[in-house]
Chain A
């Protein structure tokens, strides 16, 4: 990727970043007209965050994210419908399905680099779509998979909380999002994460200093697939329904767009990206049936004028306002 943004911020700032995320999680349902809309934002933010691990931190442009999202949806839904699996086991099943598929797609696709890699993920994405379409006995084909339950939170036989109220479900998704956000930050700050950035910057050099880059790429693919699968499962629970579009190429595109608009290489950016695209879609579709055109224009504006997406735009504007009060030493997010 040519769009590498080394957005500098120090450790204290990254701690306040966590507070920002918590503030957003609390604020979203208060500001937005419905908890369902807020939940949708978080679910896509999860998917965008997982995409960001690939695109922003490893430099892999994957059109396969829809596969993992869709697989998570179908897998969790089928487990709940046919085997009466509970909430956590269904989510775990979705994570495993996402990770396994990501392993398959990743292991094959990373044998090629650059444009060929992208084409391979695209091909897998199309295959997954048609496979799902064909297996209509299980997936419902064009009609989608109906009557997906939203199980309550249980430990053993004791019922802890029902999630049928949209606000409670939001709370559950928000906690999960926070955990995934913290987990992703840990991954980025680990030896593994630092190696991913080395691969993004210069794969030849990374190999020359001793890293077998294939293993790193496959592992990041699997982590990304697992998180995307969980997001897909939550989406199925939110809608009580799995539309075929969950595994469509459009889904991969949407996730990519959210990631890029929010800002690659910043996890908070993914939340921004998902939030703005979901909200814009919601708002614009009320105004005009051809709202996707407006979205296209906005996408062009962000990509052309805001280096590093919305997050990059915000931070550079912020820096400009702050002027030269602080030292300009560029300290990487991942620096200890």
Chain B
């Protein structure tokens, strides 16, 4: 794999099988540097399974995941952070009893990996993690809630924090798993705004159900069905595709 490829992330014939069932069945996904790339598909299409392979939560059965020119298929999830991958969770997964600021600081500290085993320095001896937390607080417009426990935020704010934690490690690739899941209709524009803002300085791989978000902010869309890629292209192209309409868009478009 040459380093000159425009793709930050590529999968080659990626497979994830549960017994005889192939949840991901030979996917060749290419995520171009600097884009917001969305994966959509009906329920059971294999989006989340694909996502789990990419984050390292599940070990792919076969194929390759090439990130920044290196095959990372054997890296555990914590090892992928130092390489520049970061993720958010579909079900909000925060440190509920820690403050918002501490949630973000921990996420910034995580990139150092085992350096955090240091048990004799003070937390604030690493100024850069606190600074990063404060910057992200500002960007998420949560500065006023910095000392609130994460579990006491409104659901919408928790979703924003969920996404915000993933940018604290200065990742090259942001992988967001249904960031609007469970959000009220009033909060969704805030999330849309945030994601397109993050897309300006990160490559974003998005898994999303909400069609209006997908169409408005993605540069590229991959439609999955039955564990395979059905169609891939820019939003207009995908919107116009007959197979996509029958497989998925029927209800929304």
| Residue B163 interfacial (CB < 8 Å) | no
Q: How far is the CA of A209 from the CA of B80 in the complex (A)?
A: 9
| Residue A137 interfacial (CB < 8 Å) | no
- B152 CB, nearest partner CB in chain A, Å: 8
Contacts of B78 in A (CB 8 A): 207-208, 210-213
Are B123 and A198 in contact, with the CB atoms below 8 A?
A: no
| Residue B215 interfacial (CB < 8 Å) | no
User: Which among A22-30, A62-70, A114-122, A189-197 touches the partner chain?
Assistant: A189-197
Interface of A is mostly: helix
From A6, A190, A336, give the contact of B118 (CB < 8 A).
Answer: A190
How many B residues have CB within 8 A of the partner chain?
Answer: 47
Are A189 and B76 in contact, with the CB atoms below 8 A?
A: no
Q: How many A-B residue pairs have CB under 8 A?
A: 129
Contacts of A195 in B (CB 8 A): 106, 109, 116
Q: How far is the CA of A192 from the CA of B167 in the complex (A)?
A: 21
Residue among A6, A210, A216 with the highest chain B CB neighbour number at 10 A: A210
Contacts of A107 in B (CB 8 A): none
Report B79-126 residues with CB < 8 Å from chain A CB. 79, 81-82, 86-87, 89, 93-99, 101-102, 105-107, 109-124, 126
- B125 CB, nearest partner CB in chain A, Å: 8
Are A191 and B118 in contact, with the CB atoms below 8 A?
A: yes
Are B113 and A212 in contact, with the CB atoms below 8 A?
A: yes
| Residue B149 interfacial (CB < 8 Å) | yes
Contacts of A4 in B (CB 8 A): 97
Report A168-195 residues with CB < 8 Å from chain B CB. 186-187, 189-195
Q: How far is the CA of A206 from the CA of B116 in the complex (A)?
A: 12
Contacts of A329 in B (CB 8 A): 147-148
Are B110 and A219 in contact, with the CB atoms below 8 A?
A: no
Are A332 and B99 in contact, with the CB atoms below 8 A?
A: yes
Offer 20 A-B interface pairs, CB within 8 angstroms, sorted by A: A4-B97, A190-B119, A190-B122, A191-B112, A191-B115, A191-B118, A192-B116, A195-B106, A198-B98, A202-B94, A207-B78, A210-B112, A210-B113, A212-B76, A212-B78, A215-B117, A219-B119, A330-B99, A334-B102, A335-B147
